Protein backbone atom coordinates (compact mmCIF):
# COMPACT_ATOMS: atom_id res chain seq x y z
CA UNK A 1 0.00 0.00 0.00
CA UNK A 2 1.44 3.33 -1.02
CA UNK A 3 1.40 6.37 1.22
CA UNK A 4 -1.15 8.05 -1.04
CA UNK A 5 -3.61 5.14 -1.12
CA UNK A 6 -6.86 5.41 0.75
CA UNK A 7 -7.26 3.30 3.94
CA UNK A 8 -9.54 0.28 3.58
CA UNK A 9 -12.09 1.60 6.09
CA UNK A 10 -12.67 4.83 4.17
CA UNK A 11 -15.00 4.58 1.21
CA UNK A 12 -13.89 6.14 -2.09
CA UNK A 13 -15.44 9.53 -2.80
CA UNK A 14 -18.61 9.64 -4.82
CA UNK A 15 -17.98 11.65 -8.02
CA UNK A 16 -21.46 13.15 -7.88
CA UNK A 17 -21.03 14.27 -4.26
CA UNK A 18 -17.61 15.70 -5.08
CA UNK A 19 -19.05 17.64 -8.02
CA UNK A 20 -21.92 19.01 -5.92
CA UNK A 21 -19.47 20.13 -3.21
CA UNK A 22 -17.30 21.85 -5.81
CA UNK A 23 -20.29 23.69 -7.27
CA UNK A 24 -21.48 24.81 -3.82
CA UNK A 25 -18.01 26.04 -2.85
CA UNK A 26 -17.76 27.89 -6.18
CA UNK A 27 -21.13 29.58 -5.63
CA UNK A 28 -20.16 30.60 -2.09
CA UNK A 29 -16.88 32.07 -3.34
CA UNK A 30 -18.72 33.92 -6.10
CA UNK A 31 -21.22 35.40 -3.64
CA UNK A 32 -18.39 36.55 -1.36
CA UNK A 33 -15.92 37.79 -3.98
CA UNK A 34 -18.29 39.47 -6.44
CA UNK A 35 -19.32 42.43 -4.20
CA UNK A 36 -15.68 43.15 -3.28
CA UNK A 37 -14.56 42.91 -6.91
CA UNK A 38 -17.45 45.16 -7.99
CA UNK A 39 -16.51 47.85 -5.48
CA UNK A 40 -12.79 47.76 -6.28
CA UNK A 41 -13.20 47.77 -10.07
CA UNK A 42 -15.84 50.49 -10.11
CA UNK A 43 -13.72 52.70 -7.87
CA UNK A 44 -11.41 53.05 -10.90
CA UNK A 45 -14.26 53.92 -13.26
CA UNK A 46 -14.59 57.28 -14.96
CA UNK A 47 -17.47 59.41 -13.56
CA UNK A 48 -19.55 59.01 -16.70
CA UNK A 49 -19.00 55.22 -16.73
CA UNK A 50 -20.38 54.47 -13.27
CA UNK A 51 -24.02 54.64 -14.30
CA UNK A 52 -23.82 51.16 -15.79
CA UNK A 53 -24.32 48.15 -13.56
CA UNK A 54 -21.55 46.03 -15.09
CA UNK A 55 -18.70 44.51 -13.15
CA UNK A 56 -15.99 45.98 -15.38
CA UNK A 57 -16.38 49.70 -16.18
CA UNK A 58 -16.20 50.83 -19.78
CA UNK A 59 -13.75 53.65 -18.98
CA UNK A 60 -10.96 53.67 -16.40
CA UNK A 61 -9.80 56.60 -14.33
CA UNK A 62 -8.02 57.47 -11.07
CA UNK A 63 -10.14 60.59 -10.62
CA UNK A 64 -12.08 59.16 -7.66
CA UNK A 65 -8.93 58.56 -5.61
CA UNK A 66 -7.48 61.89 -6.71
CA UNK A 67 -10.64 63.60 -5.52
CA UNK A 68 -10.76 62.02 -2.05
CA UNK A 69 -7.04 62.60 -1.41
CA UNK A 70 -7.19 66.21 -2.58
CA UNK A 71 -10.10 66.85 -0.22
CA UNK A 72 -8.11 65.74 2.82
CA UNK A 73 -11.05 64.39 4.83
CA UNK A 74 -10.57 60.74 3.93
CA UNK A 75 -6.79 60.92 4.29
CA UNK A 76 -7.11 62.57 7.72
CA UNK A 77 -9.65 59.97 8.86
CA UNK A 78 -7.36 57.18 7.62
CA UNK A 79 -4.53 58.55 9.75
CA UNK A 80 -6.87 58.80 12.75
CA UNK A 81 -8.06 55.21 12.33
CA UNK A 82 -4.50 53.95 11.86
CA UNK A 83 -3.24 55.65 15.03
CA UNK A 84 -6.24 54.46 17.06
CA UNK A 85 -5.79 50.92 15.75
CA UNK A 86 -2.06 50.75 16.47
CA UNK A 87 -2.21 52.35 19.92
CA UNK A 88 -5.40 50.55 20.94
CA UNK A 89 -4.17 47.15 19.79
CA UNK A 90 -0.86 47.53 21.62
CA UNK A 91 -2.52 48.61 24.87
CA UNK A 92 -5.23 45.95 24.62
CA UNK A 93 -2.67 43.20 24.06
CA UNK A 94 -0.64 44.39 27.05
CA UNK A 95 -3.68 44.52 29.35
CA UNK A 96 -5.16 41.25 28.06
CA UNK A 97 -1.91 39.29 28.33
CA UNK A 98 -1.16 40.63 31.82
CA UNK A 99 -4.66 39.92 33.09
CA UNK A 100 -4.78 36.48 31.47
CA UNK A 101 -1.46 35.49 33.03
CA UNK A 102 -2.60 36.69 36.44
CA UNK A 103 -5.81 34.66 36.14
CA UNK A 104 -3.76 31.47 35.69
CA UNK A 105 -2.71 31.73 39.35
CA UNK A 106 -6.00 30.44 40.77
CA UNK A 107 -4.19 27.99 43.08
CA UNK A 108 -1.28 30.22 44.06
CA UNK A 109 -2.96 33.51 44.92
CA UNK A 110 -6.15 34.17 46.91
CA UNK A 111 -8.94 36.02 45.17
CA UNK A 112 -7.83 35.09 41.64
CA UNK A 113 -10.72 32.68 41.17
CA UNK A 114 -13.19 35.40 42.19
CA UNK A 115 -11.57 37.77 39.70
CA UNK A 116 -11.93 35.10 37.01
CA UNK A 117 -15.64 34.79 37.80
CA UNK A 118 -16.01 38.56 37.48
CA UNK A 119 -14.38 38.44 34.04
CA UNK A 120 -16.70 35.62 32.97
CA UNK A 121 -19.67 37.54 34.34
CA UNK A 122 -19.01 40.40 31.93
CA UNK A 123 -19.49 37.96 29.05
CA UNK A 124 -23.09 37.44 30.20
CA UNK A 125 -24.07 40.84 31.55
CA UNK A 126 -22.90 44.21 30.24
CA UNK A 127 -23.80 47.82 30.88
CA UNK A 128 -26.05 49.63 28.43
CA UNK A 129 -25.34 52.62 26.26
CA UNK A 130 -26.37 55.24 28.81
CA UNK A 131 -24.19 53.94 31.70
CA UNK A 132 -21.20 53.67 29.36
CA UNK A 133 -21.76 57.19 28.09
CA UNK A 134 -22.06 58.57 31.63
CA UNK A 135 -18.83 56.85 32.68
CA UNK A 136 -16.96 58.21 29.66
CA UNK A 137 -18.35 61.69 30.35
CA UNK A 138 -17.45 61.49 34.04
CA UNK A 139 -13.82 60.75 33.16
CA UNK A 140 -13.74 63.67 30.72
CA UNK A 141 -13.12 61.51 27.66
CA UNK A 142 -15.80 62.98 25.41
CA UNK A 143 -14.43 64.27 22.10
CA UNK A 144 -11.21 62.42 22.89
CA UNK A 145 -9.61 59.53 21.03
CA UNK A 146 -9.22 57.75 24.36
CA UNK A 147 -12.99 57.32 24.40
CA UNK A 148 -12.54 54.84 21.55
CA UNK A 149 -9.82 52.89 23.37
CA UNK A 150 -10.29 52.89 27.15
CA UNK A 151 -13.89 51.54 27.33
CA UNK A 152 -12.98 48.55 25.13
CA UNK A 153 -9.42 48.06 26.31
CA UNK A 154 -9.92 44.39 27.28
CA UNK A 155 -12.38 41.83 25.97
CA UNK A 156 -13.47 39.07 28.34
CA UNK A 157 -13.56 36.55 25.50
CA UNK A 158 -9.99 37.37 24.46
CA UNK A 159 -8.84 37.19 28.09
CA UNK A 160 -10.34 33.71 28.49
CA UNK A 161 -8.83 32.45 25.23
CA UNK A 162 -5.39 33.77 26.15
CA UNK A 163 -5.64 32.42 29.70
CA UNK A 164 -6.46 28.94 28.40
CA UNK A 165 -3.47 29.15 26.08
CA UNK A 166 -1.20 30.12 28.98
CA UNK A 167 -2.58 27.25 31.05
CA UNK A 168 -1.32 24.75 28.46
CA UNK A 169 2.27 25.96 28.47
CA UNK A 170 4.72 23.49 30.07
CA UNK A 171 4.82 24.02 33.82
CA UNK A 172 8.32 22.55 33.92
CA UNK A 173 9.71 25.64 32.25
CA UNK A 174 8.26 27.87 34.94
CA UNK A 175 9.59 25.66 37.73
CA UNK A 176 13.05 25.58 36.19
CA UNK A 177 13.04 29.36 35.83
CA UNK A 178 12.02 29.80 39.48
CA UNK A 179 14.83 27.49 40.58
CA UNK A 180 17.23 29.76 38.68
CA UNK A 181 15.90 32.74 40.61
CA UNK A 182 13.58 34.23 38.00
CA UNK A 183 10.59 36.22 39.26
CA UNK A 184 7.08 36.23 37.86
CA UNK A 185 7.76 39.29 35.71
CA UNK A 186 10.83 37.66 34.14
CA UNK A 187 8.92 34.44 33.54
CA UNK A 188 6.09 36.35 31.92
CA UNK A 189 8.31 38.47 29.66
CA UNK A 190 11.01 35.93 28.78
CA UNK A 191 9.12 32.63 28.72
CA UNK A 192 5.35 33.09 28.47
CA UNK A 193 5.20 35.81 25.81
CA UNK A 194 7.82 34.29 23.44
CA UNK A 195 5.94 30.97 23.56
CA UNK A 196 2.60 32.68 22.91
CA UNK A 197 3.26 34.38 19.58
CA UNK A 198 0.41 32.48 17.92
CA UNK A 199 -2.31 33.52 20.33
CA UNK A 200 -0.91 37.05 20.58
CA UNK A 201 -1.08 37.40 16.79
CA UNK A 202 -4.68 36.15 16.65
CA UNK A 203 -5.92 38.23 19.58
CA UNK A 204 -4.05 41.24 18.22
CA UNK A 205 -5.85 40.82 14.90
CA UNK A 206 -9.20 40.63 16.70
CA UNK A 207 -8.45 43.88 18.51
CA UNK A 208 -7.11 45.57 15.37
CA UNK A 209 -10.25 44.73 13.38
CA UNK A 210 -12.42 45.96 16.24
CA UNK A 211 -10.59 49.29 16.52
CA UNK A 212 -10.44 49.81 12.76
CA UNK A 213 -14.17 49.15 12.39
CA UNK A 214 -15.07 51.33 15.37
CA UNK A 215 -18.16 53.20 14.28
CA UNK A 216 -20.80 53.33 16.98
CA UNK A 217 -18.47 54.50 19.76
CA UNK A 218 -17.04 57.17 17.48
CA UNK A 219 -20.54 58.36 16.61
CA UNK A 220 -21.46 58.37 20.30
CA UNK A 221 -18.39 60.03 21.82
CA UNK A 222 -16.89 62.24 19.07
CA UNK A 223 -18.79 65.42 18.28
CA UNK A 224 -15.93 67.12 16.45
CA UNK A 225 -16.00 65.96 12.81
CA UNK A 226 -12.28 66.66 12.47
CA UNK A 227 -11.63 63.68 14.78
CA UNK A 228 -13.82 61.20 12.92
CA UNK A 229 -12.23 57.85 11.97
CA UNK A 230 -12.62 56.41 8.50
CA UNK A 231 -15.71 54.34 9.30
CA UNK A 232 -17.67 57.38 10.44
CA UNK A 233 -16.59 59.32 7.36
CA UNK A 234 -17.65 56.35 5.25
CA UNK A 235 -21.06 56.29 6.87
CA UNK A 236 -21.51 60.05 6.52
CA UNK A 237 -20.54 60.23 2.87
CA UNK A 238 -21.63 56.92 1.33
CA UNK A 239 -24.78 56.11 3.29
CA UNK A 240 -26.08 59.56 4.12
CA UNK A 241 -24.57 61.39 1.14
CA UNK A 242 -23.72 64.36 3.31
CA UNK A 243 -21.07 66.89 2.39
CA UNK A 244 -17.69 66.67 4.05
CA UNK A 245 -16.51 69.73 5.88
CA UNK A 246 -12.86 70.69 5.97
CA UNK A 247 -10.84 69.74 8.98
CA UNK A 248 -10.51 73.29 10.27
CA UNK A 249 -14.29 73.73 9.97
CA UNK A 250 -13.83 77.06 8.17
CA UNK A 251 -13.66 76.24 4.47
CA UNK A 252 -16.51 74.10 3.21
CA UNK A 253 -16.33 71.87 0.19
CA UNK A 254 -18.27 68.95 -1.21
CA UNK A 255 -16.98 65.73 -2.67
CA UNK A 256 -18.70 65.01 -5.99
CA UNK A 257 -21.56 62.61 -5.44
CA UNK A 258 -20.44 60.01 -7.96
CA UNK A 259 -20.55 56.27 -7.56
CA UNK A 260 -16.83 55.98 -8.26
CA UNK A 261 -15.96 58.27 -5.34
CA UNK A 262 -18.25 56.34 -3.03
CA UNK A 263 -16.64 53.07 -4.10
CA UNK A 264 -13.18 54.56 -3.57
CA UNK A 265 -14.09 55.55 0.00
CA UNK A 266 -15.35 52.02 0.65
CA UNK A 267 -12.09 50.59 -0.68
CA UNK A 268 -10.02 52.90 1.51
CA UNK A 269 -12.01 51.81 4.56
CA UNK A 270 -11.94 48.08 3.80
CA UNK A 271 -8.78 47.03 1.99
CA UNK A 272 -6.12 48.10 4.59
CA UNK A 273 -7.40 45.72 7.26
CA UNK A 274 -7.84 42.92 4.71
CA UNK A 275 -4.15 43.13 3.83
CA UNK A 276 -3.23 42.04 7.37
CA UNK A 277 -5.13 38.74 7.24
CA UNK A 278 -2.79 36.76 4.92
CA UNK A 279 0.19 37.47 7.16
CA UNK A 280 -1.57 36.13 10.29
CA UNK A 281 -3.58 33.31 8.73
CA UNK A 282 -1.08 30.63 9.76
CA UNK A 283 -1.57 31.52 13.44
CA UNK A 284 -5.34 31.12 13.49
CA UNK A 285 -5.66 27.36 13.96
CA UNK A 286 -2.96 27.13 16.61
CA UNK A 287 -3.85 30.35 18.39
CA UNK A 288 -7.64 30.09 18.60
CA UNK A 289 -8.26 26.35 18.78
CA UNK A 290 -5.47 25.67 21.24
CA UNK A 291 -6.73 28.41 23.51
CA UNK A 292 -10.37 27.34 23.33
CA UNK A 293 -10.15 23.57 23.75
CA UNK A 294 -9.22 23.36 27.38
CA UNK A 295 -9.31 25.35 30.61
Domain regions of the chain by residue span: 15-42, 71-293
| Single pTM value for the model | 0.78
pLDDT tens-digit map of 165-188: 898 888 888 888 888 888 888 888
| CA distance linking residue 218 with residue 231, whole number of Å | 9
Residues 6+ apart with CB under 8 A from 233: 73, 74, 77, 244, 265, 269
Residue 115 has pLDDT above 80, yes or no: yes
pLDDT tens-digit map of 9-65: 667 777 888 888 899 999 998 888 888 888 888 888 876 665 555 677 777 888 888
Q: Residue 111's pLDDT is what?
A: 85
Q: Residue 7's pLDDT is what?
A: 63
What angle is formed at CA 228 by the lines to CA 240 and CA 92, rounded to 5 degrees?
A: 125
| CA distance linking residue 86 with residue 89, whole number of Å | 5
pLDDT tens-digit map of 135-156: 999 999 999 999 999 999 999 9
* CATH domain 71-293 topology: MetI-like fold (1.10.3720)
Please name which of 246, 202, 206, 211 lies closest in space to residue 226, comparing C-alpha atoms. 246
Residue 122 has pLDDT above 80, yes or no: yes
Largest CA distance in the chain: 79
Amino acid sequence: MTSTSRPAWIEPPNPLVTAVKGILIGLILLVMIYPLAYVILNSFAAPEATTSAGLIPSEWSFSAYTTIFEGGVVLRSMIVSTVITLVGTALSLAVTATLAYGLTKTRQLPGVRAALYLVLLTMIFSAGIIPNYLVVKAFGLLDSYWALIVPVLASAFNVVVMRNFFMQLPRELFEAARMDGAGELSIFLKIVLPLSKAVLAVIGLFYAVSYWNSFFNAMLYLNDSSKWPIQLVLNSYVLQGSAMSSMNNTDMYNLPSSQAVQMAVVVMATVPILIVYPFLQKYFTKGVLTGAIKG
